[in-house]
Amino acid sequence: MTETITVIIDGKEVTGEKGKTVLEIALDNGLYIPNICYHPSVSPAPGKKGIAKVFRGEIEIDGKAEEYDGCGLCIVKINGKLKKACITPAEDGMEIENDNLNVLNLK
Ligand code: FES
């Protein structure tokens, strides 16, 4: 049986499945949090390895094999701390701010 949790996003109480990320719960409830690299057609997502080389026209750029840190567009404030919504598991009672001028300026 699936456990349901309740979070508050921009003052609106919404519910979602335990185990989902903050971004998934927002999107499931029709609340838009900007995101790019989360989209399955635009890899790599945060935590995945980058590619070794990048080509721009005829220029070859050595990539870094370090982990990609993500686009950062999904940053939200959760209980006062900045976090990426796409990799943060939602927890019951979380207060999430997306539509906040400080958060929007960081995106
Ligand atoms: S969608 Fe890009 S870091 Fe979360």
Say if ligand 1 is within 6 A of residue 45 CB.
no
What are the backbone dihedrals phi and psi of residue 28, each rounded to the nearest 5 degrees, phi first? -60, -30
Tell me if 86 CB under 6 Å of ligand 1: yes
Top CATH class, 4-41+69-106: alpha beta
pLDDT in tens, 73-107: 999 999 999 999 999 999 999 999 999 888 888 88
Secondary structure (DSSP) of 55-77? EETTEEEE---SBP----TTEEE
Could you report the per-residue pLDDT of 33-73, keeping only the tens digit for each?
998 877 666 655 566 565 666 665 776 666 665 666 778 89
Does ligand 1 lie within 6 Å of residue 26's CB atom?
no
For 66-98, b/e burial (b = at least 16 CB within 10 A) is: eebebbbbbbbbbeeeebbbbebebeeebebbb
Is 82 a pocket residue for ligand 1 (Cβ < 6 Å)? no
Ligand 1 atom nearest residue 86's Cα: 4
- Beta bridge partners of residue 96, listed in sequence order: 9, 78
